[in-house]
Amino acid sequence: MTTLQAMFNQALSSLQAGQLDSATAQIDKLLASDPQNADALHLAALIEKSKLNYVASETYFRRSLACSEKQPVVLSNLANLMKTMGRFTEANDLYLTAIEVMPNFYDAWVNRGFMAKEMRDWDEAKNCLHQALKLQHGPGIFSNLLQLYLDTKDTQNLISQSIVFQKAYPTHAEGYIYQAKALSQQEDTYGARVVLEDALAIVDDRARIEYELGLHHYDSKDFNAAESYLKLALETSPELIDAHRSLNELYFQTENNQFLQSYSNALAKVPSSEILLHNLAASQASSGEIDQAIDTLRRAIGQFGNTAYLGHGLGALMVRKGQLEEALPLFDKALEKDPTNVRFMLDRVSLAIKMDQVGESQSLISRALSIQPYNQETWAYQGIIWRLQNNAKYRWLYDYDKFLKSYDLPVPNGFKSISEFMMELNGYLATLHVSTKQPLDQSVVQGTQTMGALLDDPNPLVMAFKSSLEQCVDDYLLTLCSDVEHPFLSRLADGYDFSGSWSVRLKNSGHHSNHVHPFGWLSCCSYIAVPDMSKSQAGWIKFGETSLDLDSNELIEQAIQPEVGKCVFFPSYFWHGTYPLESNNYRVTIPCDVDPVRLLSQN
């Protein structure tokens, strides 16, 4: 007769092997014999969570805790589930209870710290990771703490703790990289470069330091030095994909004929690399070479088989070629192999919408939202489905009267008018637009985009602009009321941060293709310089039209004329793009994303 412990071990082994149906059958059999077994209920909860059955998972967790309430691991794992479901206050309470039961519970401290970081409660995140580091010193969690110092521009602690890291782990690259980043924040570019150059003789992972030196020179606009170091990084580590991307972005922007040559060089050294071929195809597609990308992926599939990523990539290219029937089995096979991949789900939904099979899409959208409830692209596709089904929820989600608003930026101190200020700001922005082509894989067409987080620039003009913009953000948020059921309004919190910001400069025929901001919350576009747009809608921003080319099923809901000093706010899931510009004068903007700040210490 099989013992209960043996049944438990069988179910656990099945879960670890990804055999979820077997694990469910085995744990159900155990619970039929012993329905109050707290460990079995805990395992059942983990199995249901792996199956994305979150309601059933929560039930099992709470049944386990009803059997024995002081189980710190169960409390922490239930907190992880609540975090995944977007129930952050409950997650926070559960983490704190787990820590109260077991003060030295490393995982609970770490997971609460990561949640605090996600909520942008930086002080609480630092506190939790500090506690975790005291309990279990290691380079991984230490690196996460250094990243928090970098994110919050806490340069004093970042420099001092980077040096502590270097002493504890002298051959690890992270300590030197973070020290260099801190010095760069202090505008000590020479000091940053010296730290990285000295580290080359010390670290085990030399390629990471060479890569960072490449980025350092890229940011300093020393493109020759950037190229040299990025090539050195790839000589050392041919499969360092970030170095390939940065080097080829540089080549693309500078119209260098070595564009994508790095992949060929690397494949000569590592011919059996699936990741190199996959990323080569992605770069070819981003630069418009669709047929070459298809050939690359077919070559890769012939070499490695129809793996999930290769098949999905080929399917995406078939869609771009309009060969929808060919894409369908590729997407389905990729999802079968990787059923929790949100990117795969959304592309399958997009294909169903294009093929006028909207009814098949809702289950996939619901699954994607259960995994990433705040993914704005998922909500954008949900909106398309509701609109095409004439579902009243579309207007609940896309309430243009409530959510799409324009404001006039206040005139910064020291300037007589907003036009005078914008003229000076535009002059400074021109020095940042050093490239001549649009970036790879972005919405910009026939234009340029700045690198890095623009609103972190210490230039006084940028800081004055940021201050004016914050007044408009404050005014916009005051018009909103919290609604726990709404994906936009439910995220109103204790404050906000700018999570991304850049400048775009469009020239004649330049435009933004229709898109959303997948990982934003609130988005904004501010107009710095615009030509006369009063005679037509050329250069206007438009809302509602998707990127799916749905012909008669497309709908432009609103169009707004840009004006110097105006800023336009909208939820990040709003589809938006621009009409092509018809002017020889530049259209200059500063778009940005805003994220909510939720202070765990106040909940």
Indicate the helix (H) or strand (E) that contains 203.
none
Closest CA to 469 of 437, 492, 503: 503
How high is the mean pLDDT of the chain?
95
Domain topology for 1-64: 1.25.40
- Rounded average pLDDT over 221-235: 96
Q: Are 311 and 334 in contact (CB under 8 A)?
A: yes
Sheet holding 576-578, edge to edge: 558-560, 541-543, 576-578
Q: What is the pLDDT of residue 2?
A: 65
Q: Which two tokens stand for residue 442?
A: 């972005």
3-state secondary structure (DSSP) of residue 313: helix
Task: Give 30's Cβ-side CA count (13 Å radius).
Answer: 26
Query: What are 440's two structure tokens?
Result: 């790879």
- The residue that leads in pLDDT, 252 or 317, is 317
Do the beta carbons of residue 196 and residue 180 sit within 8 Å? yes
CB-based contact 454:462 (threshold 8 Å): yes
Residue pair 30/62 in contact by the 8 Å Cβ criterion: no
76: how many CB neighbours lie within 10 A of its CB?
24
How far apart CA 90 and CA 68 sit, in angstroms, is 19
Virtual CA dihedral for 162, 163, 169, 173, nearest 10 degrees?
50
Could you give the residue ranges of the DSSP H alpha helices within 340-417?
Answer: 342-354, 362-371, 376-388, 393-397, 400-403
Q: Are 378 and 342 in contact (CB under 8 A)?
A: yes
Count Cβ atoms below 10 Å from residue 428 Cβ, excluding itself: 16
pLDDT of residue 234: 98
The Cβ-side half-sphere exposure at 50, using a 13 Å CA radius, reads 19
Q: How far apart are CA 283 and CA 294, in angstroms?
A: 12
CA distance 543 to 541: 7
**Mean pLDDT, rounded, for 401-411:** 98
Euclidean distance between CA atoms 588 and 148, whole angstroms: 32
> In which residue are the tokens 């502590």 written?
164
Q: Is domain 404-602 in CATH 3.10.180.10, yes or no?
A: no
What was the pLDDT predicted at 602? Answer: 62
Element (H, E) at 511: strand 504-512
In three state form, how does the secondary structure of 289-334 look?
A: CHHHHHHHHHHHHHHHCCCHHHHHHHHHHHHHCCCHHHHHHHHHHH
Q: What is the per-residue pLDDT across 491-543, written as a single tens digit (0 to 9) for each?
A: 999 999 999 999 999 988 889 999 999 999 999 999 999 999 999 999 999 99
Instruction: Please say if the pLDDT value at position 1 is more than 70.
Output: no
Q: Is the pLDDT of residue 165 over 50?
A: yes
Tell me the per-residue pLDDT of 445-500, one tens digit each, with 9 for 90 and over.
888 888 889 999 999 999 999 999 999 999 999 999 999 999 999 999 999 999 99
Give the torsion sign (CA, 230, 231, 234, 236). negative
- Under 8 Å between Cβ of 117 and 125: yes
Inter-residue contact 471 to 410 (CB < 8 Å)? yes
DSSP 405-466: EEEEPPPPTT-S-HHHHHHHHHHHHHHH---SSPPTTSSEEEEEE--S-GGG---HHHHHHH
| pLDDT for the residue numbered 41 | 97
For residue 151, pLDDT beyond 70:
yes
Per-residue pLDDT at 603: 54
Q: Say yes or no to pLDDT of 441 above 80.
A: no
Q: What is the pLDDT of residues 409-431, one digit of tens each?
A: 999 999 999 999 999 999 999 99
Distance CA 99, CA 365 (A): 35
Residue boundaries of the structural domains of the chain: 1-64, 404-602
281 touches 296 (CB < 8 A): yes
For the cut 80, the answer to whether the pLDDT of residue 438 exceeds it is no
Task: State residue 385's pLDDT score.
Answer: 97
Render pLDDT for 320-358 as a digit per residue (tens, 0 to 9): 999 999 999 999 999 999 999 999 999 999 999 999 999
Q: How confident is the model at residue 207 (pLDDT cuts 50, 70, 90)?
A: very high
Contact present, 492 and 539 (Cβ < 8 Å): no
Cβ 578 vs Cβ 540: under 8 Å = yes
Q: Measured between alpha carbons, how far is residue 352 from residues 292, 329, 381 in Å?
A: 26, 12, 11
- Rounded CA-CA distance 185/175 in Å is 16
């005291």: which residue's tokens?
Answer: 134
Taking only the tens place, the pLDDT of each residue in 3-29 is 889 999 999 999 999 999 999 999 999
